A = this chain, B = another copy of it.
Amino acid sequence: VSGISLLPKGMAASKWVYDFGEGKADGRAEMKNLLGGKGANLAEMAAIGLPVPPGFTLTTEICTYFYEHGCTYPKELKTQVQQALALVESRTGRKFGDATNPLLVSVRSGARASMPGMMDTVLNLGLNDVTVESLAKQSGDRRFAFDSYRRFVQMYSDVVLNIELSHFEKLLDRAKEKRGVRLDNELLTEDLENLTKAYKARVELELGHELSLFPEWSNRCREFPEDPQEQLWGAIGAVFNSWMNQRAKTYRQLHDIPESWGTAVNVQAMVFGNMGNDCATGVAFTRNPSNGTNDFYGEFLVNAQGEDVVAGIRTPQELTIKARQSHGSELPSLEEVMPKVFQELMDVRKQLENHFLDMQDIEFTVEKGKLYMLQTRTGKRTAHAALQIAVDMANEGLISKGQAVMRLKPDLIDQLLHPTLDPKAKKNVIAKGLPASPGAASGKVVFTADEAVRRSQDGEKVLLVRIETSPDDIHGLHAAQGVLTTRGGMTSHAAVVARGMGRPCVAGAGDVHVDYGASQFTVGDQRTCVRAGEIVTIDGITGEVILGEVPTVAPQLSGSFGTIMAWADDFRTMKVRANAETPADARTAKDFGAEGIGLVRTEHMFFEGGRIVAMREMILAADEADRKAALAKLLVMQREDITELFRIMDGLPVTVRLLDPPLHEFIPHTEAEMASVAKAAGVPLERVRRRATELREANPMLGHRGCRLAITYPEICEMQARAIFEAAAEVGRTSQSGRTPVAEVMVPLVATLQELDLLKRVIEKTAQAVQTEQGVAFNYHIGTMIELPRAALQAGKLAGLAEFFSFGTNDLTQTTYGLSRDDAGSFLPEYKEKGIVEQDPFVSLDTEGVGELIEIAVERGRAARKGMKMGICGEHGGDPASIEFCEATGLDYVSCSPFRVPIARLAAAQAAM
């Protein structure tokens, strides 16, 4: 195709303007970075021969240049714009600013991604007191011409000259009043002429006022520009200036769009859908964006401009007869009104899908029976539609299975797996927090885990509201429909546990102030007060907290879900495992396709019911003998749990991590609770108090936890190893499938080779003892977590002893960054806002810092132990960007919470392609 720029970069830098029109274009769709999304697609449509009004695009590089050079343009720009304009003139047979045959243009911004907040569109540019007369003459419709002129003055004054719209609205109202009419289109032509004059007078007044305030702006215009060239450059400047306005900045921040991308500007010959009844304008999706069916889907208006369709004053008409019938509409469809144009549009639809290989969102205008395409872009769609369209297109042969897999954003899968709020329902949003675990849930507010359990046992649905949660609250999280916390981030305790259980969670809602004493919470200004027992709804996808019950829509997994997952698995090279402790979680994980358990957090098993009593007896034991007695009780329970996990995973590997959290997490800290613990454990209250004080730490995250506990109390390690191995022996002996368990024992928080050495001996000795006692062999491996910088650096040595590595990226991020994930919530949002971090490093792996340590560990570990098995079991294991890094780094598997397994399968497939 002629016109594609293949110039080397150095030379291309001086090409600032790209033409399109008449089946030709300088640009193509893949040049979105340079031309913006709209410009690139216009070029593409022109290049493949679709009917696009001719025009040209000012590149995003101008925007970058503009901000790097004190808001000035490259010197070649003026000439290049004039040349491009001349080409449009020759293609349309009109002249810009010409008194008899004027060219009118639209000016639109066009960033890489569509971006609200920026200057959007100026239509009818080129109109002035002279050219308006030609337009009147040529169209044969003086009213249309002056209505266009009036709209242009208003639009231009608003977006380019920054004059309040209200001024114009007032004038319009006064004109209608004077005429005694109610609707704009009841105004007479002369009214519109006068109105335009009044508009321009007002503009002069406002500009003059501004100049009197800011005399240094003396070079600014003092009245509405009559000169089309001045109009054009004003509009271009307004687009570039709007790139840095506050709304655009905020939007970029929220959507992680770098400032350096810049925006392009599209200048295009005007076509009119409002020049009579042989004119129309419309928007369409090439397929249904809501459910994904292969139906043409859209609407149009006869004799209208694009903005009228959106404005919703007139009722738009359906495109197809089928749609009209199914919606029971009285208004005729395009298929009926303009059958020729409709057929042309159906051809365009097909051509676009065949060309762009994806569902398109298009805008078109019909001017006096001729179809013009004004825009095409990839259409937004629901998660369901995205899935359906990808599978259908692959089945239709439009795209490959691989492309179908690549096309689905893994996070969309989350929406398919959880109930969502009914989009049609009304919502009284009272606060917003972080969308910490997807899904929506309603329930009566409770403030304690115990209350959650009690009420839910009475058959009530409850929502647990806490300042923050601790392992003590696990039973409450289980019992509740969802959880709302006022502190903590995406990886706070509540968030992690809720995701693991598939419970919706909104975390860190800082505006919500919980008063446990009064059993209520207030929001922000304290005027909204919610008492225990009142119903509240949370949306874990948006982070919204909503007063009252909002109906939800249950997740429905279509056959396409299974299809895409199966395709993904064909491309995937990394295994996907789940983090799971309970049989329920393990079953969910397996149903979702987990290929093993990558992390059993054994401590979670100790928080429930009688177990915490035994655990506390162990902690409060006066000596080793007492401790061993308590451990004997725990052994029985732990063995049962692990047996069940081995059974469920049926021959798939199960990685069991030794006790990890500091012991103080098992001991309560209020006097009353301590007294009841003392009673339950049969020890003096004084000992509980003293032990609680002893165990208190300044920085528990860096304290006596992980393998350090096992070093101090080898008998705990021995008990846990025994539980694992006895379970392995038992399940191996009784396996129905013939598959025997693969037990992987994992030592957490290792910093030195010596720690691993010592504990490996204990574990191996126990394995041998159990094998001898039970007279049965079983398959086991001993490995270590790499979750401290020192461990990553020492990986070469550790690999001498460890049979596998599992990267604990939560702790590794905490230590590499020196950042507590429980405390980072107070300043990380500001860090994102100020551009210090692009992403919360607890959500998406910091590939530069933490990532380098992982790379070092992989390299050193595999150098010491060839082909060593390595995986990741932090929260990052379910994050697509992090999964991509894992694939690139050569990890063997990722492990994530059960509900993220499908996401990880998809992301892993994408990473492998």
Contact = CB atoms under 8 A, between A and B. Distances in A.
A278 interface: no
B790 A711 contact: no
Interface stretch (A71-79, A297-305, A319-327, A808-816): A808-816
Contacts of A701: 698-699, 702, 818, 820
A852 B793 contact: yes
Contact of A836 (B758, B793, B853): B758
Interface of A: 694, 697-704, 706, 708, 711-712, 749, 751-752, 754-755, 758, 787-790, 793-794, 811, 814-820, 822-824, 826-827, 830-831, 834-837, 846, 848-850, 852-853
A815 B789 contact: yes
A789 B853 contact: yes
A365 B816 CA distance: 64
Given A698-B701, A702-B699, A823-B698, A711 B793 contact: no
Contacts of A826: 694, 703-704
A824 B819 CA distance: 19
A788 B830 contact: no
Contacts of A788: 816-818
Of the listed residues A701, A708, A749, A789, the one surrounded by the most CB atoms of chain B closer than 10 A to its CB is A789
A244 to B, nearest CB: 18
Given A790-B846, A849-B794, A853-B793, A702 B835 contact: no
Top 10 closest pairs, chain A to chain B, by CB: A702-B820, A699-B820, A790-B849, A703-B823, A789-B789, A698-B822, A788-B818, A754-B836, A697-B823, A699-B701
B817 A790 contact: yes
Contacts of A697: 820, 822-823
Given A711-B834, A711-B836, A794-B849, A818 B815 contact: yes
Contacts of A793: 816, 848-849, 852-853
Contact of A755 (B752, B820, B836): B836
Nearest to A696: B823
Nearest to A794: B849
A819 B824 CA distance: 19
A860 to B, nearest CB: 11
Contacts of A820: 697-699, 701-703
B699 A827 contact: no
A700 B823 contact: yes
Contact of A787 (B700, B818, B822, B837): B818
Nearest to A693: B467
Contact of A837 (B752, B824, B853): B752
Contacts of A846: 790
Given A698-B820, A703-B823, A711-B831, 20 more contacts: A697-B822, A698-B701, A699-B699, A700-B823, A701-B820, A703-B820, A704-B826, A706-B818, A711-B836, A751-B849, A752-B836, A755-B836, A787-B818, A788-B817, A789-B815, A790-B849, A793-B848, A793-B853, A811-B818, A815-B818
Indicate how many identical chains form the complex: 2
Of the listed residues A704, A787, A790, A827, the one surrounded by the most CB atoms of chain B closer than 10 A to its CB is A790
A701 B826 CA distance: 14
Contacts of A831: 711
Nearest to A756: B836
Contacts of A794: 848-849
A799 to B, nearest CB: 15
A310 to B, nearest CB: 39
Given A790-B818, A846-B790, A827 B702 contact: no
A789 B758 contact: no
A849 B827 CA distance: 29
A699 B819 CA distance: 9
13 contacts: A697-B823, A698-B822, A699-B699, A699-B823, A702-B820, A711-B836, A712-B830, A789-B789, A789-B816, A789-B853, A790-B817, A793-B816, A794-B848
A699 B822 contact: yes
A811 to B, nearest CB: 7
Given A758-B834, A834-B758, A702 B790 contact: no
A132 to B, nearest CB: 51
Contacts of A789: 789, 815-816, 818, 849, 853
Contacts of A702: 699, 701-702, 814, 818-820, 823
A824 to B, nearest CB: 8
A836 B753 CA distance: 8
A910 to B, nearest CB: 28
A651 to B, nearest CB: 35
B790 A830 contact: no
Contacts of A694: 826
Contacts of A837: 752, 754
B852 A754 contact: no
A712 B828 CA distance: 10
A704 B818 CA distance: 10
A704 B831 CA distance: 12
A701 B846 CA distance: 20
A486 to B, nearest CB: 11
A699 B817 CA distance: 13
Nearest to A822: B698
A711 B827 contact: yes
Nearest to A510: B694
B698 A749 contact: no
B817 A751 contact: yes
Nearest to A830: B712
Contacts of A699: 699-702, 820, 822-823
B827 A712 contact: yes
A85 B814 CA distance: 64
Contacts of A848: 793-794
